[in-house]
Amino acid sequence: MLKQNFQDRHTIFVIGWLMYFLYYLNRLNLPPIIPALRQDLNISHTEVGYFVSLFMIIYTVVQLPAGLWGDRYGARKVVTLGCVVSSLANLAFSRSYNLSHLVVAQGINGFGQGLGFSPLYKLVVTWSSSSKRGIVIGFFLTSAPAGALFAYWFSGFLGNRFGWRSSFIIPPLIFLLGAMVYWLVTRDQPEDKGLSGHEDEVGLGQKLRPNSNRSNSKVALVLSYSPLRIVFLYSFFLFYIWYSAITWLPSYFAETHGMDLEKVGLGAGVFLVGGIISRPFGGFLSDWAFLGRRKALILSATAVLFAVTLFLWKTSSLVWIIFLLGLLGFVVQFIDTLILTYPADFLPPEASSTGSGFLNTIIHISGILSTFISGWLVDLFNSYSPVFFSFLLMAFLGFFTALLIHDHPHKNSHSIY
């Protein structure tokens, strides 16, 4: 039974990881082909910002409902629905010939994509113990840079050889195949497979509920914790950098350094690749070396973030820019894991999807602003230097916000699961 327990938990984790990888494959297939799309349809950076921002707006609006639906209906149903909607939207985008069609298709894609993270986050939390939560979430989050990195390359490869529309035909077909496997293999909780849950989580839930103003509402429970509200604010500054970078770096390399569609994916990929190491590394350090105390790591990493963004804003050397973008991506994703672990630290599993939904709502409000403002700044100044300056400003504000973050008061007990 113990061996079966071990195998099932790891199978669920791997399938969840692969599904979020595929979510990114159908989300970041757009940035690498923006130069070709702009040329083909004769649209500006600001107009690109319209449909990218609408994607982010709808994605953001969906975050809280997705979290609530994940807690109510389970990750299996919600994630599969998101996959189907996103796949159909991508196929519709491939058949779009004017700005209004692009906007509508990306808006629908935003809805489908919004159903992915919070329910999958709940799935991972439900199938893991609190003592290894930072590590597990860190490894799970490597699906984002891995999926984004592959999406950059694969979309650029398809667009360069078969035209930009092919980048919105092949990925959704792969996505639908993955959803079939996900539906057949996963279950929402260990008990659905006849396995035991985690006793440590029961005590956590009982400890937290009395402090939520005696309300059974998951929303009230999430909002009752002031430490989480500080984390929400910090996440706004951090993810402004993340979303601006993953959206506009391919265009930056194409327009400023003359790279073709395949090379822009590789150039922008330096920002993502470090996360494959830094995300689980951040979780490992916080769980084992710091025993669940994450603030010191966040504060130190944010200081590094400020230094990196300062040098990035000042330099014009391509070699230094690539190095600094790689370091920037490593640090942002290191902090990302720590921030995204806070809802699981402070909330019981039955409210973890809702907590993640709240956090993702704030994150993607930041994404809405960053993607549009960055495109507007490029059109206004005909340069990406103001975009890099905005990174510096976000790192500065993030550092002082990090001073106010609190760690969860309980100490982790180290168990196998």
CA dist., res. 177 & res. 106, Å (int):
21
**61 pLDDT higher than 70:** yes
- The residue among 277 and 412 whose pLDDT is bigger is 277
Q: Across residues 68-83, what is the average pLDDT?
A: 89
Encode pLDDT of 2-54 as tens digits.
444 545 777 888 898 999 999 999 998 998 888 889 889 998 888 888 888 88
Predicted TM-score (pTM) above 0.85: no
Tokens of 65: 């409902």
How confident is the model at residue 242, as a pLDDT? 92
Mean pLDDT, residues 107-132 taken together: 83
Question: What DSSP element (H or E) covers 15?
Answer: helix 2-25
Long-range contacts of 386-389 (CB under 8 A, 24+ apart): 387/244, 387/248, 387/252, 388/309, 388/312, 388/313, 389/313
State how far Cα 349 lies from the chain centre.
20
CATH code given to domain 2-186+223-402: 1.20.1250.20
Q: Where are the domains of the chain?
A: 2-186+223-402
CA dist., res. 63 & res. 286, Å (int): 26
Please give the pLDDT value at position 148.
Answer: 86
Cα–chain center distance at 229: 19
In the DSSP assignment, the letter for residue 405 is -
Instruction: Note the pLDDT of residue 158.
Output: 92
Question: Do the beta carbons of residue 308 and residue 331 sit within 8 Å?
Answer: yes
- Any idea which of 178-187, 304-313, 382-391 has the lowest mean pLDDT? 178-187
Per-residue confidence band for 409, with pLDDT thresholds at 50, 70 and 90: low
